[in-house]
Structure 1
Amino acid sequence: MPHTQEWKVRLYLFEEEDRTKARAVLDTGTTELTGHGAAHRNPADKDVPEIGDELAAGRALYDLGRQLVEVADRDIEGMNPPVDTRSAGPSSGWPMADDGPAR
């Protein structure tokens, strides 16, 4: 069954002296999640605002992604009967991709 959705992400960046903060807001139409990230420039480093923006934005998006996976895990757990804890396996039916950090 085909399924198409459009989710909107708004990314806000704030600079204050040597610190950049980012807020990423995901709106699914039924749910809104907010991720936060920050970057701090060492005063001895060259002032390149784009680097702080990239780091803070990336961290906010990473936080948002982590929250989204947690919501999906809770949704999956709510749909399935209790699992026998003696059988080892992932907590959800979707294994984690190799390109992300192991948890």
Structure 2
Amino acid sequence: MSHTLEWKTRLHLFEDAGTTKARVVIDTGTAVLTGRGAARRNPADPDVPEIGDELAAGRALQDLGRQLVDIAERDVDGMGVTRPGPRPAVGWPM
């Protein structure tokens, strides 16, 4: 079974007074989700906007990723699929 999808994603960055905020919006075709993230510059640190952009965007993408995983886990639970138990320990016995 092969299938291909394209999910449209937009990342918005806003900077004001040492705080960068990011909003990432993904449209899956059946749902639209929004992730948010922020980064604040310590006043003692040099002003390097790229760092704030990277941190805020990364945090927004992490937020979006958590939402996607939560939705997938709810979908799996809704199908009545049995989840595997805890993984066995690996390595040398103690």
TM over 0.5: yes
Q: Which runs of 5+ in 2 are unaligned?
A: 88-94
- Identity over aligned pairs, percent: 69
Structure 1 partner of 2:90:
none
So what's the TM-score if we normalise by structure 1? 0.79
Shift of 1:88: 6.9
Structure 2 partner of 1:25:
25
For the aligned residues, what is the CA RMSD?
Answer: 1.9
Give matches, 1:1-103, under 5 Å. 1-80=1-80, 89=85
Higher Cα Rg, which structure: 2
Q: Distance in 2 between matches of 1:88 and 1:37?
A: 33
Q: Secondary structure at the match of 1:51?
A: helix
Count the aligned residue pairs: 87
* Structure 1 runs of 4+ with >3 Å offset: none
Q: Which runs of 5+ in 1 are unaligned?
A: 96-103
Structure 2 partner of 1:99:
none
Q: Distance in 2 between matches of 1:32 and 1:15?
A: 24
